[in-house]
Amino acid sequence: TQLLEQSPQFLSIQEGENLTVYCNSSSVFSSLQWYRQEPGEGPVLLVTVVTGGEVKKLKRLTFQFGDARKDSSLHITAAQPGDTGLYLCAGGDGGTSYGKLTFGQGTILTVHP
């Protein structure tokens, strides 16, 4: 059984601060995806990383996939209240076809004005 350990579980910060969320596993994943979810809605895909060591940037968000494809991180620079939400990492097990996703426990981020 593949497991993804996501930390921290809760994060409460002030506007303008930086933060990092981590996802770690003892298993190798073919891909790693990050989602953001708001209450009462489905998760929305932020990024997919597939190559070990890959770094992707999405405005103030930086995503990194570990060299061994077992871990990933999400870094947010100068957080804003609009970044508030549940962040989920998910690992794919099906090669380029992704297959079933394994989700981390999620990080509830609250950014205070």
Partner 1 sequence: GAVVSQHPSRVICKSGTSVKIECRSLDFQATTMFWYRQFPKQSLMLMATSNEGSKATYEQGVEKDKFLINHASLTLSTLTVTSAHPEDSSFYICSARPLGLNYGYTFGSGTRLTVV
For residues 56-95, which are near partner 1 according to CB under 8 A? 86, 88, 90
Q: What is the DSSP letter of 83?
A: G
Q: Quick one: which of 44, 55, 68, 78 contacts partner 1 (CB under 8 A)?
A: 44
Q: Which of 22, 50, 54, 75 binds partner 1 (CB under 8 A)?
A: 50
The span from the CA of 99 to the CA of 90, in Å, is: 11
CB of 78 to partner 1, least distance (A): 25
Q: Which two tokens stand for residue 83?
A: 């970044």
Ranges assigned E (strand) in 15-94:
19-24, 31-37, 44-49, 55-58, 61-65, 71-76, 85-92
**How many residues can be counted in the chain?**
113
Q: Is 104 in the site for partner 1 (CB under 8 A)?
A: yes
Does residue 48 interact with partner 1 by CB under 8 A?
yes
Binding residue count for partner 1, defined by CB under 8 A: 24
Site residues, partner 1 (CB under 8 A)? 6, 33, 35, 40-45, 47-48, 50, 86, 88, 90, 96, 98, 100-101, 103-106, 108
